[in-house]
Structure 1
Amino acid sequence: MTADRESAPSAHIPVMLAEVMAELAPKPGERIVDATFGGGGYTRAILGAGAQVIGIDRDPDAVARGRAITEPGFTMVEGTFGAMDTHLAALGLETVDGVVLDVGVSSFQLDQAERGFSFRFDGPLDMRMGADGPTAADICNRADVSDLAHLLRTFGEERHAGRVARAIVAARPLASTAELAAVCERALKPGPGIHPATRTFQALRIAVNDELNELARGLAAAERILSNGGRLVVVAFHSLEDRIVKRFLAERAGAGGGSRHMPVVSGPAASFAPSAKRALSAGEAEAARNPRARSAKLRAATRTDAPALPLDLTALVPNVRLKGI
């Protein structure tokens, strides 16, 4: 996988905007859900195309940015995108014409030291996208060493997860990002490539925010609210996310059945028709301009008229349990 990379502070730049708009194809009068509002880059482009937008974000700062938009046709909702169907029902809506998801951490979150997402700044070891639930410090200071190692190995794909977990436990209590970064540096020794703390910070952030389960719930919610012909566009930034999107769309498209040895077993009708067999990547020019775009993968699909299928989280998301957290 490609681990999350931390780049220098910069203004928000929507990743793969041209490709997102081409796949989303918003039209005047349509309703589109920008389910991860963030800095509002996609929302502004969609509004510019004449469509209405419902923006969703659980980050209070992102919600405040959204509520500052006074353009007609825009509604800002505070909440998780995994519950987008519930949010729409509260607005009196059952279906929409498009959903766009840009998953993972935003440049705004990385650039705010007080949020605790980044090892580039010294701040509280928090990492919560919302305002509730356990923090990264809670996990570091309470999880036993085996659970912590499993978390780092699964969500960060840290090859030396056991070594880092033991170092974290030995250094307890940890309260700041600088303290955790220093622990990782002592455990792994800085060298060429990504910073020694990169995979640990990624794993903790995913666990704190339940990001992979939230992504799976969001995909299923999009399936329930998209009208026949509605478009789903997802931009992911590391292989754990992209793998979930790929598996979900393959299952919903009815892929993967049969071979010359085993007959195809008929199953439920396909609820999505993927627009391409492979994910799209950012072009060289964009990747050079915007480091965050380098690992981006875009997958898109069109909703059919088939009924939505039940969500099996265990088939899509790796299981990590943290006792006592």
Structure 2
Amino acid sequence: VIQMSHRPAPIICRIFSSALKPQRLQSGCSQAHTPVMAREVIEHLNPRSGQVFLDMTFGAGGHSRALLEVCPDITIFCLDRDPQAMTFAAELSASFKGDSESLLTRSGCPKGGVDGVVMDLGASSMQFDIPDRGFGLSRDSLLDMRMSASSKSNEPTAADVVNCLTAAQLAHIFKAYGEERFARRIANAIVEHRSALGPIRRTGQLADLIASVVSAVTSSPKSGMKAEADNPQLPCPPPMHVATRVFQALRIFVNDELNELCCGLEIAHTFLKAGGRVAVISFHSLEDRLVKWAFTNSLSSSAAGGLASRLASTSNEAVGSARFQRLLNQLQPQSEVIVNSPTPPPLKTAFWSQINGATVPSQAEVLRNKRSRSAKLRVAEKRDVEAL
């Protein structure tokens, strides 16, 4: 967790650890980060002098920087699970990993005292741009995809998922988290490849295998699936690579992203003051559906359809390894309620007041920043439940 304030000099970040000295923000990426829908976020959060904000997906700091540039005299507490997003906070991140609420409290972020929260979901441009992380399709690299970015982590990698699970389990992941129409064909091909040629360790291997499967049933490997059409008024993006949905599914599964989103919304509600706002930017339909559901129904992640929890014990050596046990724990029935079931009736007492429906980026922004083309922004205000 870092606390930021604006000065005439470039943005300085102060680490809440006596072992570390203040250091300048370093993105860890050669390319400049362009925050998605920053103007709309600022309009909805409307920062004013003396207010406190929470950036729960700091990344390269784009939204925090935008808020500070509009209103210098604010305080922003920032969270990110990726040590490479804030290399100077790696020690603190390792010490308190997975306990964001406790870490925020220890760092002085006031419960019930935050005016606005920003959540920019999914992998960041920085993560896609670093080939060693294994998130993207542009360059060949190891199949990792862990946002924790630690080779010593006991968390399963994308390679663990691809090489350890059965065809049925893989098909479930690809269908549930990627909405991949060729999920079973691709899963069967992966298992056949493992048996005949050995494990799949690199992004290029997996992408080529998926392209070969899809090309067998479509006219072109690069056009087997239509590009997203969430906003038909926007410029038509280039055709989506046929492996995109499988890569998305693996990334979501490896990083437990839907549960992280549920937990993040709970934390946002805990730290926001009554009338405070949360702005959530999502990039695919699963995230957007979950955010919409949370804003119109229940606060608790346990009520959000029983999404998978990775907190089960990893000490069972009978299954071979802690990583494989985590995979099995995570494969219990999950996400069907959110993905496939009709929306349940709203609670009598709602925790959020939805400020707007899904807002999409302008045509001008999509032309400037192609990553924004599938973005949707939803904003909600914390209700004063005690006053109801």
- For residues 266 and 202 of structure 1, the distance between their equivalents in structure 2, rounded to whole angstroms, comes to 30
RMSD: 2.3
- For residues 97 and 268 of structure 2, the distance between their equivalents in structure 1, rounded to whole angstroms, comes to 9
Residue 217 (str. 1) matches residue 263 (str. 2):
yes
TM-score (norm 1): 0.81
1:28–1:84 CA distance, 2 compared to 1 (3 A): farther
- For residues 211 and 82 of structure 1, the distance between their equivalents in structure 2, rounded to whole angstroms, comes to 13
Conserved in 2, the CA contact under 8 Å of 1:273 and 1:301?
yes
1:91–1:197 CA distance, 2 compared to 1 (3 A): same
Alignment counterpart, residue 285 of structure 1, candidates 331, 352, 364: 364
1:111-150 alignment to 2 at 5 Å? 111-130=129-148, 131=150, 132=153, 133-150=155-172
Alignment counterpart, residue 103 of structure 2, candidates 87, 96, 99: 87
- For residues 347 and 285 of structure 2, the distance between their equivalents in structure 1, rounded to whole angstroms, comes to 28
Tell me the amino acid that sits aligned with residue 32 of structure 2: A
Alignment counterpart, residue 243 of structure 1, candidates 282, 285, 289: 289
- For residues 84 and 266 of structure 1, the distance between their equivalents in structure 2, rounded to whole angstroms, comes to 28
- For residues 209 and 360 of structure 2, the distance between their equivalents in structure 1, rounded to whole angstroms, comes to 34
| Structure 1 residue ranges without an equivalent (≥5) | 1-8, 69-75, 254-264, 308-325
Conserved in 2, the CA contact under 8 Å of 1:35 and 1:81?
no
Deviation sequence 1:212-269 (CA, Å, 0-9, x none): 111011111111111111111000001000000000001159xxxxxxxxxxx99543
Alignment counterpart, residue 55 of structure 1, candidates 78, 86, 97: 78
Conserved in 1, the CA contact under 8 Å of 2:122 and 2:282?
yes
- For residues 271 and 239 of structure 1, the distance between their equivalents in structure 2, rounded to whole angstroms, comes to 23
- For residues 77 and 283 of structure 1, the distance between their equivalents in structure 2, rounded to whole angstroms, comes to 38
1:42–1:267 CA distance, 2 compared to 1 (3 A): closer
Deviation sequence 1:69-95 (CA, Å, 0-9, x none): xxxxxxx97389985432221123323
User: How many residue pairs were aligned?
Assistant: 279
Sequence identity (%) = 44
- Cα deviation, residue 99, structure 1: 0.8
Tell me the amino acid that sits aligned with residue 302 of structure 1: E
Conserved in 1, the CA contact under 8 Å of 2:296 and 2:350?
no
- For residues 84 and 231 of structure 1, the distance between their equivalents in structure 2, rounded to whole angstroms, comes to 19
1:266–1:182 CA distance, 2 compared to 1 (3 A): closer
- For residues 205 and 266 of structure 1, the distance between their equivalents in structure 2, rounded to whole angstroms, comes to 31
Tell me the amino acid that sits aligned with residue 154 of structure 1: A
Higher relative contact order (CA 8 A, sep 6+): 1
- For residues 52 and 37 of structure 2, the distance between their equivalents in structure 1, rounded to whole angstroms, comes to 21
- For residues 118 and 98 of structure 2, the distance between their equivalents in structure 1, rounded to whole angstroms, comes to 13
- Cα deviation, residue 191, structure 1: 3.3
| Structure 2 residue ranges without an equivalent (≥5) | 1-29, 216-220, 224-238, 300-344
Conserved in 2, the CA contact under 8 Å of 1:234 and 1:300?
yes
Worse-superposed segment, 185-194 or 122-131:
185-194
Conserved in 2, the CA contact under 8 Å of 1:54 and 1:77?
no
1:130-209 alignment to 2 at 5 Å? 130=148, 131=150, 132=153, 133-172=155-194, 173-189=199-215, 190-192=221-223, 193-209=239-255
1:154–1:194 CA distance, 2 compared to 1 (3 A): same
1:155–1:175 CA distance, 2 compared to 1 (3 A): same
SS of equivalent to 2:79: strand
SS of equivalent to 1:227: strand
Conserved in 2, the CA contact under 8 Å of 1:36 and 1:81?
no
TM-score (norm 2): 0.68
1:303 match:
382
Residue 14 (str. 1) matches residue 40 (str. 2):
no
2:355 match:
275
Conserved in 1, the CA contact under 8 Å of 2:45 and 2:279?
yes
